[in-house]
Amino acid sequence: MRCINVVEGVMEAFSPAYQIKVFVTLSKVNGLKTWYLYEGHCAACKLEKSCRSMLENEAEERGIKLGAVDKLLPPTKLAIKLFSRYLDN
């Protein structure tokens, strides 16, 4: 674990197996979710709409405003945009 924000229910971690940053979030709408920050192949994935919806819910619950351009981003890029504000720099 690298950083935890108890108030917003966000924990930054690192996956040694995949060598990438990971966020674990706890929200009223989505429950407990793990987000791997990587460039995925969202257009070819059956879960693209589901991921997008969950990420939009995460943003709304945390008071993060998404513009029209943000809503067009692939879910992996949207996740990076949303969770980068919590990165332990």
Helices then strands (H, E): number in the chain?
Answer: 2, 4
The domain containing residue 35 runs over which residues?
A: 3-86
Residue-level pLDDT at 1: 61
The domain tally of the chain equals 1
CA-based torsion, 30, 65, 50, 78: positive or negative: negative
Which residue has better confidence, 61 or 38? 61
- Binning pLDDT at 50, 70 and 90, where does residue 88 land? low
